[in-house]
A = this chain, B = another copy of it.
Amino acid sequence: MDDNKDTAGTAEWVDGETKVEEAPHDHGDEIRLWLRLLTCTTLVESEIRRRLREEFDFTLPRFDLLAQLERAEDGMVLGEVSKRMMVSAGNLTALVERLVESGYVSRTVSPKDRRVQIIALTQAGRGAFRTMADRHGEWIGDMFKQLSARDGAALMKELGKLKGSIRTSLTSPQ
């Protein structure tokens, strides 16, 4: 409907056709694509944040952290969590601290290397996460409902190509 709304999150400064022909390399198409991608992500993410808060009084970062731990039966080194979640280690300190306080996560110093912390889900954490994850799945399913299986598969594929392009750009200096 209103592609004006694509401006949300970042901008719309090349959305009008005005500036498009001026510059030699304007990247207009790429930017429109980026803005649309951003809009979709923002819409979904905001809704998930809102519902997590509303139904479970929980935040998305905490949910994400539990999600990382769920598959690691024996816990996970903090640094590994940091990499997987793509957030800084400094960020995790406080996050883990709160989850330990609430009894969802345990924290142990590695006996082999006392710099290293191993964190793991407690039974309570596992149960709480399962409940929330089920609802989370329903929310996503609902928001993606109108997308046919074919469209979903196509989108998955195209996003795969985009991801490849981005990663290449990030690993090669310029």
Contact = CB atoms under 8 A, between A and B. Distances in A.
A13 B67 contact: yes
Nearest to A163: B40
B137 A165 contact: no
Interface string A111-151: 00000000000000000010001100110111111110101
Secondary structure call for the A interface? helix
A94 interface: no
A95 interface: no
Identical copies of this chain, number: 2
Contacts of A149: 29
Contacts of A129: 13
A13 B86 contact: no
A33 B67 contact: no
Contacts of A26: 137
